[in-house]
Structure 1
Amino acid sequence: MRRWVKAVVAGAVVLGVAGYVAEPYARDWMLVREACDGALDPDAMDRLVPDGRRLLEEKSSPGDDLGSYSCLLTMADESGERDRTAVFMEAYTRRDDRDRELRGEFSEYGHGSRDPLPGGLPGFVDENGRVVLLMRCPDLDRDDAGRPGRLLVRTTLGRELLTGVPGAGLRTAVGLADAASRRLGCGADPLPEPPADALPGDRDDDPDEEPEPVPGTVCDRAVKAAPAGGGWRPSGGGSDTAPAVHCALSRVGDDPADQVRVEVDAYYGDWGNRLLHERGKRKSMTATARCDGEAANFALTAHAPLGVPKPGEEEQRRLLTAFAKDQADRHGCSDPRFTFRGGR
């Protein structure tokens, strides 16, 4: 650790053992080492905690047979008085808990921002900047309905910790997820090391401009499946390992204000059943499939300004069919089955 190690070593040399323990940097170092069963990467935390901030305390839940575990590390604000979250991790293996927390990531009608994670990590960054990971648990039995054991881990980093520190935030979330797997008896394989320059929720592009489509991504594949001359442009996305995928396709007419927009979503797991039901009530076009004993749900919703026609039902169906079929094939699911035809 660059900053903390230098300060700790200097304190130990100059002040002796007592002074070393009393040094603020040494206290930060000790808190990081003790927090979350020692799962925090000291170097990553050294990069994440802003200069001039001090860590305050660490807390953790027991992680008992109830199938949940959490840990919290707080820090002081610039005045040194009011505490703020540095790291908060919560983990769940019970199906009801997982389903509740996953549904809570989305609005009542199943919408919500999900930024894909790099490197094949099984999760996304939600609209609040939290890293959400859903892992398969080989050491947990399937339930009575045949659903496999899984572990949901959600990591919250203080707002200051999410900017300007490429790689450290995601590395912290991955380390905490692996620790939660061990603590709760999940038995998941260690997650892949995230790219060194990856930062959850960080974008280099202008937020007012649509990003260039990346070849081979979820949204790019959806556009390629559109009818010839459809003029669709993708934004958003997901990964083939994420529990939820969101893609938006837009088409602009002669008047830039006449933008037609289509949103396609995938939810993997029975937790998405309620979201699909709500989408159907909103006149979305929907489809379902089965994947590893659980439901996979797909939905398409079309939007257009007043007086501008939405894509026709045939075009909507073709878009959703191609999206759902591509997703189902990549996840090893059954062929998608349409459940609601949508509406104008």
Structure 2
Amino acid sequence: MRELLSWARERWIALGVLVMLLAALQVAAGGQLGAGLAVRQSPCSGLLPREEFGALIGDAEVSGQRIRNGDGLDRVQCSIMTPDGRRDLVALRVRAVTTADDVDHGLRELLRQSAMREWRDPLPEGLPGMLIEQRGRELRVALLLPCSDLPREVADRERQLLVTVDTYVSEDANALLRSAVHAANSSSASIGCGTPPLPPPTGNLERNPEEGTPIAAARTACEAVVPALPEDAPEGGWRTYEAATDSGPYSLCEIPLPGGSIWLEGLFGPWSESVRAARSWFSSEEEQRPLSEQWQPWANTAQGFAVSECQGEPAVFMVAKDYSVDYDITDEEIRALLATFATDQAARRGCGTPELP
């Protein structure tokens, strides 16, 4: 019996030493062993789906997550961290906001860059949003949902939920899209938006091919501008890159030309005017016009814009051409493209007749 007790005591001592060593390793690693496992089990406390997390984070070591909440559930941000030497870096981030100021700010941040600096793709199955890609840096999906059951902050303006999911370590756009839909549905249910959940996407994102799509075979609204294109097409015919859907806050048709492109964009919501202002450049002739006239619809050989109203909210339609384009296109043709695009987009979304230059 004494020998049995002695054997058990030795085993308990050995087990205790092992536990202490593991605890010491955990402390020395800054708690990363447990934190990484906890994050993978419930990323962003369930805001992101566990089944997609592996595809988004890959083999990267997870050091933890940071969750920040605003007042109540109006603003939530979660960042998944990975270690990099002496500091942690953001590998994956999800944001969900509902206040008017936060939604407007978020959309301005999403679209402040001209489409000439980013790749943008439509989402499948009519999902209300877009995919934005900064090559080699970031992949982002944004979704905008109505929140009709939330009290209105501004008279006659329905609350909205803007959800964005960004990854800096993955190129799996389909896993990112599925994660964004999960995050949007979870956020909407948590805050009581009163919106039916978005259906999980069943197909894959159709990315814009490197060479563009023949414009007559465009998937969505870009085909509408074909009658306004010049008769003499570039070598290989007219092609397009598009992110033009009948829902969501944004639409795009990019028409590549020798040396550059022409961009046609639609912005829908109160934030659209500030984005247009940030994008515009004025020649000396336009700058000499009265300021009030500068903000009226206008166009020249390089750019132009039109305005409309959609369910009581402003919409802006823009056209812009690279200065480096080596192709003869006239003022009249620029105006015709803008008018055709704006008229078609307004009709698709139930907007008023656009005010054109």
Q: TM-score, normalised by structure 2?
A: 0.72
| Cα 1:141/1:335, change in 2 over 3 Å | farther
Paired with 1:247 and 1:229, the residues of 2 have a C-alpha distance of 19
Which residue in the other structure is 2:276 paired with? 276
Per-residue CA distance 1:106-147 (angstroms, 9 max, x = gap): 347786532222222211122342211111112124443422
* Structure 1 gap segments, 5+ residues each: 1-17, 253-258
Paired with 1:225 and 1:216, the residues of 2 have a C-alpha distance of 18
| Cα 1:68/1:300, change in 2 over 3 Å | same
Per-residue CA distance 1:210-230 (angstroms, 9 max, x = gap): 444443423333235435445
- Structure 1 or 2, whichever has the larger Rg, is 2
Per-residue CA distance 1:65-92 (angstroms, 9 max, x = gap): 4721112222346x8x753334311121
Which residue in the other structure is 1:4 paired with? none
Match of 1:140 among 125, 129, 150: 150
1:286 aligns with 2:291: no
Question: In the alignment, is the contact (CA less than 8 A) between 1:302 and 1:311 conserved in 2?
Answer: no
Which residue in the other structure is 2:220 paired with? 217
Which residue in the other structure is 1:153 paired with? 163
* Number of residue pairs aligned between Structure 1 and Structure 2: 302
Percent identical pairs in the alignment equals 30
Which residue in the other structure is 2:56 paired with? 48
Question: In the alignment, is the contact (CA less than 8 A) between 1:68 and 1:184 conserved in 2?
Answer: no
Question: In the alignment, is the contact (CA less than 8 A) between 1:110 and 1:275 conserved in 2?
Answer: no
Which residue in the other structure is 2:202 paired with? 195
Which structure has the highest helix share of the two? 2
Match of 2:69 among 62, 78, 81: 62
Tell me by how many angstroms 1:240 deviates: 1.9
Tell me by how many angstroms 1:25 deviates: 9.1
Partner SS state of residue 140, structure 1: coil
Paired with 1:109 and 1:260, the residues of 2 have a C-alpha distance of 14
Match of 2:121 among 115, 118, 138: 115
Paired with 2:70 and 2:43, the residues of 1 have a C-alpha distance of 14
**Matching residue's letter, 1:31:** V
**How do residues 282-321 of structure 1 correspond to structure 2 at under 5 angstroms?**
282=282, 284-305=303-324, 310-321=328-339
Tell me by how many angstroms 1:175 deviates: 1.0
Question: In the alignment, is the contact (CA less than 8 A) between 2:218 and 2:240 conserved in 1?
Answer: no
Paired with 2:33 and 2:176, the residues of 1 have a C-alpha distance of 20
1:186 aligns with 2:189: no
Tell me by how many angstroms 1:331 deviates: 0.9
Partner SS state of residue 191, structure 1: coil
1:335 aligns with 2:339: no
Larger deviation, residues 309-318 vs 276-285: 276-285
| Cα 1:111/1:25, change in 2 over 3 Å | same
Paired with 1:166 and 1:295, the residues of 2 have a C-alpha distance of 31
Question: In the alignment, is the contact (CA less than 8 A) between 1:123 and 1:241 conserved in 2?
Answer: yes
**Matching residue's letter, 2:126:** G
Match of 2:110 among 95, 100, 105: 105
Paired with 2:324 and 2:50, the residues of 1 have a C-alpha distance of 51
Question: In the alignment, is the contact (CA less than 8 A) between 1:58 and 1:71 conserved in 2?
Answer: yes
Match of 1:173 among 175, 180, 184: 180
Which residue in the other structure is 1:243 paired with? 249
Paired with 1:183 and 1:168, the residues of 2 have a C-alpha distance of 22
